[in-house]
Structures are given as C-alpha cells and as structure tokens.
Structure 1
C-alpha cells in the first residue's frame, strides 16, 4: 500500500543519523548542471557512470561536495542503485580518502541495493582506523532495515562502549526495530532508559506513536499524542499527525483520521511540502475522498519542478478510486510535461486498464509507446500477460509472455503464477516447440536460471510425472536462494 510505504520512508529520515539522512531537494537552492543531468535521468535501467565519465571527458570539474549532494538527493528519491553508482564512482575517482560519513553512506546503500550480506562484507573491509561511531551507526541502520534484531542489539552494545556524543539516533533506530518486531516491552524499557539519560527527541516520540498506530492501540496513541502536544521536546510536524491519521484509519475511525490529516496539512513547511502532499493525497484516496485528492494534487503539481514521484502517487490514487477519466488526464499531463520518462508510470496505467477490463486500451497504449520510441521492459508485457491469464485468455497470455522475454532489463523475473500457467497450457496443448522457444528466450536474456530452464524443459517433454509447472518454479527459487546464501557466506 503506497500510503504505508510513504510514511515508512519518511520515518526513516527521523531515525537515522544525519550523515545518512536523505534531505529534501528543496532545502538547497540551485542545482549544478551535473546535478540536473543526473537527477532528471530517472530511468532505473540507466547507469550514472557514463554520465559522470562523459562530464569529465568534456573537461568539466567534478567536486566531492557536489557528488556528496547528488548521492544524498538520489537516496532521498529512493534511487538507491543510482546513488550507489555515484558513490562508487566517487570512491574510484577521488584523489583524497573518503570521509567516514561517505563510507557510512556507501555501507547503507550497499545494504539497500545488494542486501545485508554484501553490506557486512563491505564493513569487514573498512580499515579499523576509520571504523568509529559513524560506521557502526550505519551498520546498525543496515541491521535495523533488514530487521536483524540480534545483530542490531550486539552492534548497539558496541556503540554504547564508544560513548559518542550523539547517541539518540542509535537509540531511535533500536526503538524502531523493536516496534517493527512487536517487542513492546523492550521498546518501553529502552524509551525509559532514554528518558533517564535525557536523550529523547522528537523522533523518539514519533517512533513510539507509529508503533501504537501499527498495533492499532488507539488509546495508547491518543495518550502519547497528548503528551507530545504538551512536551516542547516532542516536535510535532506533518508526519506526526499523518501517523495518527494512519492509526485511526487502521481501525476504521474515518472522521478522526480526516481531522488528523487536516492538522497534518497545516503543519507542512516549505522543506516537506512535496512528500507531505504526496502522502496525504494517497491517504485521502484510501478513504475514498476524491475531492481532497484533487485539491492536494493542485497544490503538489504547482510546486517548483515536476516530479515523477508525484505523478505516480496521483495516478495510483485515481486508480484506487476507479477514476478512469481522471487517471487518463493525469497520464496525458505527465506525457506533455518536461518530466523524464519513467516506465513505472506507463506500467501502472497498463495495470489499471487491465483491472478495468479495458484490454484494448492497454494494447493501444503499449503500441503508442513503442511507436514513440519508448523502450519497454519485460514487466510491461508481463502485466498484460498476467491480466490475460486472469481473464482466462491463455492464448493471448502466452503470446504476450513471449514478448516479455525480449525485455532489456537483465535479471528481471516473470510473474511466477502466469509463467507456470503458460507452461502448463502449452504442455497440455502439446505445443512443445513454442514452450521451448519461450524458455530459451527467458534463459538467454537472464530471466530464469539454468536450473529452472532444465527442469521446465523436462516438464514440457513430460519427463517429470505428476509435476506441476508452478511447483517446479517455486522449488527452484528456494534452491537458488539457498545456493546464493551459501556462496555469499
């Protein structure tokens, strides 16, 4: 649910050290030309490395502060792969040693892009002389993100022994992790420890409020909110009230949720406008308040520059509201604007058309994208194939799945249910030739492993009695994950 993702994304900026925070792009005035070039290129399939190399080849200067700013902004947009690419480029091309804060950000990005095991490997390779508070705080953040409670607790004890000045952020990370794990007793104990040390801040209370909201403890949430409103330490902002609104929505108290959303909107400042409006319009969509969705959209779209995230948020909200005409108008507005092409937006519209049973519009839209020279990935066709499968049109599902094999994004995986259903359909139809053609294309383009390919080839030939394609795919996914974990360990 986009609402929860938006709120959790914002909570992350409250609970991690400042050197890991992804500050809002509107907090700094003016982008350099290099920043503009990178930030506007939002296609996840595009690497940032050639852009940086070309910049240098043109004789232009790349300063470390600009690169640091770009990394932070990319991470703020959740473009973690791009941020990591810039971080790696900076490391490879820097004449000076990286600061611990840069290494900490790199560690955090590796965790988000490649997983916890790779982050731990990177951490072990950091020189001991640089492994101080900032690095350990980043490692704690990695464990918290991946909900690795035991490892986080061990790391927290190491941090306590370092006795840094700024301990609050680490305590807050542990609070958030305890909240996610439902460890309310530990959460309360840790918060009491923070009160005794007098190190609570606004984020401390916000994390506790979020825990009450997620556990549907309205009484606890309301009591804490009253304490926060009376305590000058507990800074109340738009996110605080949005969290409370989310708690009320979880238990179906729409009137109070709406009241909290109004308070949230009144607490928005210039630095948080975009993410606040995006989150709030999504929340209003969740309770069916279309007028409020459009009112907030008019505020959001009139902010400086157009962002794909805003259009994605609005389009998702209108799809949720089944506002077909409105969704098409927003799509047209996005296409006619100056925003960079982002495959996520067409994919959402294609999914919406399929949801509404308008397959002809989905097909026509895909054709128009191709005619306009847009590069589609496998997930675009996969969405349409899955919709045909749901509609029991297996012939079209198979033909569309075949087109999905031609996607250029290596590593993309097809919808397992649809993929298995298509293989079963072709086997029962005795169309072994077409099944093998699809399997070969998937394997050659890196969309399935060699193991999965071999098992499914045997399946379509009837060499595995009583086997189901879907079961074979799932079994191989489990085997591959175990093998990958073994390799990494």
Structure 2
C-alpha cells in the first residue's frame, strides 16, 4: 500500500523520556481520530470480503460515504486505473505522487530548512512506510532535529563501518560517556531519516545485548520494524516468536501490518490483519487505513469492502481516510465521486487542509477541469500570498501544471528574497515543467549559495529536470558535482540517474546503474526505477531483458503489482511471441488480470482462435 501519511495533528504531549518509544512504531495517535477503542467483532478479511461471526451493535457510520463509494467506484475502474499504480516505492506510499506535485505521502509536510542546512542533513525524509507507521509530533521531531547535529552517538555510528560499529560503541561507553534514552532517540531518528536501517538494527541489537536499554513493547516494535525493513517479512514474523508473550500487543502486529503494506504483500497483510482480530485486539482506524492503502494499489474495488467493515464495526474515518478516498477517486478521474467524498467529509465536521485542497486541484487539472482548478487555487492562495507562505510550495507546482508561467513567476517572487528549501524545490520542478531549464538552474544555484551543504535530495530535483528534457551531458556534470561535494547517493538519486539515461535512450546504461546500485547497497532501489527500464524493454519487444527486470523485482520484494505483469506481457505482444503459461504465473502470484491485462493475454495466447484459424481448421 502506499504509505499512509500521518495527519498533521500533533500527538499527545509526552515527556522527553518517551521520545524514543514514540518515534519508531506504528502508533495511531499521530493521526486524527485513530483511537476509537472499538472492539473488532470477528471480521474475517479474505480476498477483500468480510464475514461477521457474531452480531455487531453500535452506531452510526458515515453511510453516505459508503454509498458514494459503492455506487461510483467499481464502475469507474477500468484500464486506466492501473496504468500508474505504484509511484514511490519504498514503501508505503502509500497516496502516491500527484503527477506534477509532491508525493501524497507528503501529507503533513514539514519545513526541513533546519534539518538540511546543517552538516548532518538527511538525504531524504523518513520514507513513506515510516511516515505511516511511525508517530512523530511536529514539535518533537523539530526539537530532535535541532539537537541531532551535536549527537555524539550518532556521529560514532555514522563514521564507523558496519564491522567496527560494535567495538566503537563499546569504547565510547567504556570511556564513561552517558547513554540515556534521549541520546538513543536522537541516534535512531537520524539513522531512520537517512534510511540506514542496517546500522539502526545493529545499534538496537547492541543496546539489547549490553542491556543499555530495557526493552518493552515499544522497543520490540521498533526493532521489529527494522528487522522487516532489513531482513524481510519472514524474519520479522520469526522475531515476533522470540518476543515475550507479555509484550506481544497490538502495537507489535500493527507495526508488522504496516511493513506488509509497504511491501505490497496482500496475502501477508490480510493474514496479519486477521491475526489482530483473532488475538482480540480492537481494530483501529490506522489498520483500516492500511488496508485502504493496500487495496488502492492492488484492487480499488476492495476499498468498498473495507468501508463496509468500518461501518459495521463503528470505526470512524479519520482525516487521512478521506485523503486516501479523495485521491483514489481523483486517480480514476471520477471527479463527481471525489466531490461527493469531500462533501461527506465536510458534513462530518472535518475541513480539508491545504494538502487535501492541493490534491483536489491536482486532479481537477489532470481531468481538464481547469476552471475548477483555478478557482480552488485562488482560494488556496487567499487575499495576500505573502502572508500565506505555506501555500507557496503547492501553488508553484500546480500553477506550472496549468501552464501558467506568470503565476509561477508571481509566487516565486514572493519567496525569492527569503526562500525556504522546499519552496526552492517546488520552483525548480515548476520551471522544469514549463521548459524553463535556465530558470530552474538559477534557483538551484541560489540554494547552493544560501545553504552551505545540501543533501542529494536537492540535486535530484534538478537531475529530474535534466532527464525530462533529455539533457544527458548536464545531468552527468551535476552527478559529478554531487560526488565531489560528498553527497550520499541513495534510491532517489539512482532513480534520477536511471531516468536521465532512459530518457536519453541509453537504456542498457540505466539498467547497469540499477543493477550495481542494488548489489552494492542494502537499501533497495525504487520500484519506479525498475519500471522505467522495464517500460523501454517492453516497447522494444525485448523479452529477455523484460523478464530479467521482472525477476529482479521479485527478488528484492516488489511483488503483487499489476503494472510489472502488464509490461512483461507488452514485451511479448510487441515481439509477436506467445507467452506460454503466463496466466498460470499470474494465478500462482495471486494476481488477477483486469481488462487491459486480459486483452494482452489474449494477444499472446498461442492457442487463441481467430476467424482465419477457424476457416483453415
């Protein structure tokens, strides 16, 4: 599923000693209306359906929302619904990216000016899976970020190699240095922000072995999350068996569920969801949102089943629930359905935030409802944009998507004198979208002068602009500049480089970059990086290389997504070669073809009957 993003509502205030425990597990308080305490009344989810084994009593769910969804969604799902299913991929993604705006995972976007301007700036934000499964309050995360640059433990972990990490930590402690929960929290937060999950797991193992940290359910959940990310879901399940039964609470299984969703493992996610029910834990809005995220990627029709289950169990939808539903409606170009969900949301007293408005505007634009989009953008902008700086970032990208150069320039003029990093990123994307590469470069150079050290995240945006305009030589120069400046190269940079070479027509080079990246690093490349290469092989009818990329996707855990099957089938179609046993392959993987895939399967069926074959036989 894509990562459920957290609503921007701050969680309950907690003392400093709790920072570690609330930072690394699937805790629902980060979302609005997530703790409803409703008992899960034996709902068995099997392939998206549910069966009640005992009567459920209680209250009014938002039946109008269910009716809106049931009436409109299924009829709208067609060939287009799976064309661009999986964006991010690392994980959850869960709202994948608006084509021209930020990831939907950017639900509670924070300014990371302070995070990035220092020497210890993160390469990327915490990944999508983390955004959904981990509970950060804005205040706590900013406080941690301010302190992170002076965290001695984190610096030791960062500088040590994996083999020498344990001994380095031993020496540091033996020197009499204190190691409290606050310091542990800072170190782990920074490791996660950089996606150094292997080192984070090694650090937690050292903490347990040396008894530097007393493990409770939250600590076990944090470690479970890291095991799932580094070693896979099977190892994570095995780890649960080693945890004392007294600490095997809902939190543990919710964390496992979030990771199953991140891996888009439908069967395992449903098993874990049912396990939560079987153990008698209450079902939360968080768990339901995870299922909606999952089914948004693999089978949108099943979202109606989740909503019906929520109605039966009196589980109240949260702000994020509505965000997911609005985005899903928009992605299938069901604008009237999207507007009905919005109306239901308002009727329940939940007002759309800036992010929801931006998502709605984005879907208006891509449904060619430009008048509605412009009206909404003016509403987002307000009377004085200079007093509404939070709106500048989405407005830059949305005005660019509308092709409104003057409005992009007007908004950027408001930001230019004292720009924020995220506004600079949005401006680079916007100018790139409008074909004004030189203007994008000027913004980038302004960033380079304003901030002493930028992470690779900020180079990647310009790299994407170069890729979109097939400026291979400029892209190579920028990549070298990144290396010379000591930037850490990670999945987003690999993705930008892959697209740079793909758009320049050098698919084999892009394939080589991707293969080397996956072999040399613990962090796996993005799903879309593989899809970009696979699309080109499919267009060529290159069955051998298409199957090779498909196999790599399975090897690193990207399974259960229709798009990769469609692209391999297209390679067979374009090569005019039968795909023997492909239906059986899909059935074995629990993948059920949609209309587009059925047409492809028929085209590559060696035994299909045609009019001429009937005559000749």
Scaled by the length of structure 2, the TM-score of the pair is 0.53
Structure 2 residue matching 1:229: 3-state secondary structure: helix
* 1:86 counterpart (200, 205, 215): 200
- The reply on whether 1:288 has 2:396 as its aligned counterpart is no
Residues 307-331 of structure 1 deviation map (CA, whole Å, 9 limit, x = unaligned): 5x65444323322221122111122
- Seen in structure 2, the aligned counterparts of structure 1 residues 96 and 363 have a Cα distance that, compared at 3 Å, is closer
- Is the Cα–Cα contact under 8 Å of residues 403 and 434 in structure 2 kept in the other structure? yes
Q: Please state how far the C-alpha of 1:403 moved relative to its aligned partner.
A: 11
- Seen in structure 2, the aligned counterparts of structure 1 residues 231 and 33 have a Cα distance that, compared at 3 Å, is closer
Q: How far apart are the structure 2 equivalents of 1:417 and 1:237? A: 32
- The reply on whether 1:174 has 2:174 as its aligned counterpart is no
Identify the residue that residue 68 of structure 2 maps to in structure 1: none
Q: Please state how far the C-alpha of 1:301 moved relative to its aligned partner.
A: 7.8
Residues 207-231 of structure 1 deviation map (CA, whole Å, 9 limit, x = unaligned): 3323322232222221221222232
Q: How far apart are the structure 1 equivalents of 2:462 and 2:414? A: 23
* Superposition map of 1:352-391 within 5 A: 352-353=465-466, 355-356=468-469, 361-362=474-475, 365=478, 379=494, 389=505
* 1:147 counterpart (264, 274, 278): 264
Q: Please state how far the C-alpha of 1:68 moved relative to its aligned partner.
A: 3.1
* Superposition map of 1:200-211 within 5 A: 200-211=317-328
* Superposition map of 1:326-337 within 5 A: 326-337=439-450
* Superposition map of 1:161-310 within 5 A: 161-164=278-281, 167-180=284-297, 181-182=299-300, 183-194=302-313, 197=314, 199-232=316-349, 234-264=350-380, 278-293=393-408, 307=421
Residues 133-158 of structure 1 deviation map (CA, whole Å, 9 limit, x = unaligned): 00111122222333333433332233
- Is the Cα–Cα contact under 8 Å of residues 20 and 105 in structure 1 kept in the other structure? no
- Is the Cα–Cα contact under 8 Å of residues 133 and 164 in structure 1 kept in the other structure? yes
Identify the residue that residue 104 of structure 2 maps to in structure 1: 8
Q: How far apart are the structure 1 equivalents of 2:532 and 2:286? A: 44
Structure 2 unaligned spans of 5+: 1-86, 88-96, 110-127, 383-387, 535-539, 558-617
Q: Please state how far the C-alpha of 1:160 moved relative to its aligned partner.
A: 3.0
* 2:456 counterpart (319, 326, 343): 343
- Seen in structure 2, the aligned counterparts of structure 1 residues 256 and 283 have a Cα distance that, compared at 3 Å, is same
- Is the Cα–Cα contact under 8 Å of residues 385 and 401 in structure 1 kept in the other structure? no
Q: How far apart are the structure 1 equivalents of 2:280 and 2:103? A: 31
Structure 1 residue matching 2:264: 3-state secondary structure: coil
Q: How far apart are the structure 2 equivalents of 1:315 and 1:92? A: 43
Q: How far apart are the structure 2 equivalents of 1:370 and 1:149? A: 39
Q: How far apart are the structure 1 equivalents of 2:392 and 2:424? A: 12
- Seen in structure 2, the aligned counterparts of structure 1 residues 263 and 101 have a Cα distance that, compared at 3 Å, is farther
Identify the residue that residue 135 of structure 1 maps to in structure 2: 252
Q: How far apart are the structure 2 equivalents of 1:342 and 1:66? A: 24
Q: How far apart are the structure 1 equivalents of 2:379 and 2:330? A: 17
- Seen in structure 2, the aligned counterparts of structure 1 residues 56 and 227 have a Cα distance that, compared at 3 Å, is same
Q: How far apart are the structure 1 equivalents of 2:320 and 2:464? A: 37
Is the deviation greater in 164-173 or in 346-355?
A: 346-355
- Seen in structure 2, the aligned counterparts of structure 1 residues 96 and 34 have a Cα distance that, compared at 3 Å, is same
- Seen in structure 2, the aligned counterparts of structure 1 residues 403 and 203 have a Cα distance that, compared at 3 Å, is closer
- Is the Cα–Cα contact under 8 Å of residues 168 and 201 in structure 1 kept in the other structure? yes
- Seen in structure 2, the aligned counterparts of structure 1 residues 300 and 90 have a Cα distance that, compared at 3 Å, is farther
Is the deviation greater in 183-192 or in 374-383?
A: 374-383
Q: How far apart are the structure 2 equivalents of 1:373 and 1:317? A: 27
Residues 109-138 of structure 1 deviation map (CA, whole Å, 9 limit, x = unaligned): 554565544544444444433221001111
Q: How far apart are the structure 2 equivalents of 1:374 and 1:204? A: 37
- Is the Cα–Cα contact under 8 Å of residues 220 and 252 in structure 2 kept in the other structure? yes
- Is the Cα–Cα contact under 8 Å of residues 238 and 265 in structure 1 kept in the other structure? no
Q: How far apart are the structure 1 equivalents of 2:551 and 2:511? A: 24
Residues 260-303 of structure 1 deviation map (CA, whole Å, 9 limit, x = unaligned): 3455566xxxxx987x7544533333222344445555777888
Q: How far apart are the structure 1 equivalents of 2:514 and 2:304? A: 49
Structure (1 or 2) with the greater helix fraction: 1
- Is the Cα–Cα contact under 8 Å of residues 7 and 279 in structure 1 kept in the other structure? no
Q: Please state how far the C-alpha of 1:63 moved relative to its aligned partner.
A: 2.7
- Is the Cα–Cα contact under 8 Å of residues 72 and 83 in structure 1 kept in the other structure? no
- Is the Cα–Cα contact under 8 Å of residues 143 and 151 in structure 1 kept in the other structure? yes
Structure 1 unaligned spans of 5+: 267-271, 421-467
Q: How far apart are the structure 2 equivalents of 1:104 and 1:74? A: 16
- Is the Cα–Cα contact under 8 Å of residues 21 and 72 in structure 1 kept in the other structure? no
**Backbone CA RMSD of aligned residues:** 5.1
Q: How far apart are the structure 1 equivalents of 2:132 and 2:321? A: 18
Structure 1 residue matching 2:453: 3-state secondary structure: coil
Q: Please state how far the C-alpha of 1:64 moved relative to its aligned partner.
A: 1.9
- Is the Cα–Cα contact under 8 Å of residues 19 and 101 in structure 1 kept in the other structure? no
Scaled by the length of structure 1, the TM-score of the pair is 0.64
- Seen in structure 2, the aligned counterparts of structure 1 residues 119 and 61 have a Cα distance that, compared at 3 Å, is same
Q: Please state how far the C-alpha of 1:186 moved relative to its aligned partner.
A: 0.9
- The reply on whether 1:63 has 2:180 as its aligned counterpart is yes
Is the deviation greater in 173-182 or in 105-114?
A: 105-114
Q: Please state how far the C-alpha of 1:356 moved relative to its aligned partner.
A: 4.0
- Is the Cα–Cα contact under 8 Å of residues 233 and 259 in structure 2 kept in the other structure? yes
Q: How far apart are the structure 2 equivalents of 1:127 and 1:322? A: 58
Higher relative contact order (CA 8 A, sep 6+): 2
